[in-house]
Amino acid sequence: MATFTMHLPCENIHLWIAIPFCLMYVTSIVGNSVILFIVKTDPSLHEPMYIFLSMLAVTDLGLLIATIPTILGIYLFNSRRISLNACFSQLFFIHSLSKIESSVLLLMAFDRFIAICNPLRYASLLTPPRIAKMGLVAVLRSVAVILPLPILLKWFRYCRANVLSHSYCLHQDIMKVACSDISVNSIYGLFVKVITVGLDSFLIFLSYVMILKTVLSVASHAESLRALNTCVSHLCAVLLFYISDIGLSLIHRFGNNSSHMLQIILGYIYLLAPPLINPIVYSVKSKHLRERIIRVFVNTGDMGEENHELWPWPRIPSWILFP
């Protein structure tokens, strides 16, 4: 059976490189699992914002499971070969989960937009059935647009060295080693990128612009600074995901002279940084969630009456605004 071979530089220090990957893997698994556990066991966190955060954690765990075993197999056991079918399966899960993550980030931005710009309709718009439908649409959209990619790749002829530049299978990487005409895949891949990552990122940043506009128009200076601080931290996590995603795609399509090491580093940032950073950003910035996590690990018992109020108006619960 035909196989792909994954080529990575710095072979003499692969064992040392595996150490930070193992640490990142364990930290990411623990961080996202803790969020899922806390949200599931605490009824006060059964709110749209935390449900979307749980969706993000599940997606990040899926990305880790789909990629890390292959990466550690190379660095720890020098296991470089992967069959075509296994590679196409990994490709499907990586790209599908990546697009699901993009959709979930959009849903989280939409949640904040409704909570701040139209708080009186928040409870009526984001009902549990509607949230479930939104999550289902995110999954179905991602699977529907990604499924043709491995199917098209399966019909290609691979008559070259079949050496991939990453330690996992990416659509752009596999296209480079095909001997068939890849124009259909290239055009369709670009179309998928535009209607998912391009559209989602545009709507996310548009929603945050509207949020900031609303905050600055009705809040005091101190409240505006606090809201801005939360917005910036969330946007940094979003930017990390989208910049690495779009950058990796552009390098593979147009950066023929780009450094192999640059492609590898950007690929790792794209898939491994979000699962590591997302739990930190969203739990640290959410006082409600942060206190629950502290109770679990520190066993502080009753932490006293909570005072999350960031706004002076009683019509908007504090967890809805900027947690």
311 in a structural domain: no
What are the DSSP calls for 258-318, one per residue?
S-HHHHHHHHHHHHHHHHHHHHHHHHHH-HHHHHHHHHHHH------S-----SS-TTS-T
Within a domain: residue 167?
Answer: yes
Cβ neighbour number for residue 186 with a 10 Å cutoff: 14
Tell me, yes or no, whether 157 lies in a domain.
yes
Residue at 91 is within a domain: yes
The tens digit of pLDDT for each residue in 154-204 reads: 888 877 667 888 888 888 888 888 887 888 888 999 999 999 999 999 999
For the stretch 2-26, pLDDT in tens is: 677 777 767 777 788 888 889 999 9
Is residue 249 domain-resident?
yes
Query: Cα–Cα distance between 128 and 126 in angstroms, integer?
Result: 7
Percent of the chain clearing pLDDT 70 (strictly above): 86
CA dihedral angle for residue 137, residue 273, residue 6, residue 191, rounded to 10 degrees: 40
d(CA 25, CA 31): 10
Instruction: Summarize the confidence of residues 101-130 as an average pLDDT.
Output: 90
Could you tell me if residue 171 is inside a domain? Answer: yes
- pLDDT of residue 32 exceeding 90, the answer is yes
The 3-state secondary structure of 235-273 reads HHHHHHHHHHHHHHHHHHHHCCCCCHHHHHHHHHHHHHH
Model confidence pLDDT, tens digit, residues 85-100: 888 999 999 999 999 9
Strand order in the sheet with 163-164: 81-83, 3-6, 163-164
Quote the mean pLDDT of the chain.
82
Is the Cβ–Cβ distance between 105 and 142 less than 8 Å?
no
Q: How many domains does the chain have?
A: 1
- b or e along 28-42 (b: 16 or more beta carbons within 10 Å of the residue's beta carbon)? bbebbebbbebbeee
Residue 297: exposure state from Cβ atoms within 10 A (0-12, 13-18, ≥19): exposed
Picking from 129, 148, 34, 50, the residue whose alpha carbon sits closest to that of residue 91 is 148
Average pLDDT over residues 68-82: 84
- Residues 6 or more apart whose CB falls under 8 angstroms from that of 219 comprise 227, 311
What are the pLDDT digits (tens) for 267-320? Answer: 888 888 999 999 888 877 777 788 887 877 776 444 444 433 333 333 344 444
What's the confidence (pLDDT) of residue 284?
75
CB neighbour class for 183 (10 Å; exposed up to 12, middle 13-18, buried from 19): exposed
- CB 103, CB 136: distance < 8 Å: no
Cβ contact 72:21 at 8 Å:
yes
User: What is the distance between the alpha carbons of residues 32 and 305, in angstroms, rounded to a whole number?
Assistant: 27
- CATH number for 280: 1.20.1070.10
Token reading at 189: 């891949």
Residue 13, pLDDT score: 76
Note down the domain range covering 70.
Answer: 3-298
CA nearest to 60, candidates 90, 86, 29: 29
For residue 319 the two structure tokens come to: 């967890």
Percent of the chain predicted with pLDDT > 90: 33
Which uninterrupted H or E stretch holds 152? Answer: helix 148-154
Query: Does residue 45 lie in a domain region?
Result: yes
With respect to residue 315, please indicate whether it lies within any of the assigned structural domains.
no
SS3 category, 228:
helix
Sign of the torsion formed by the C-alpha atoms of 307, 308, 311 and 316: negative
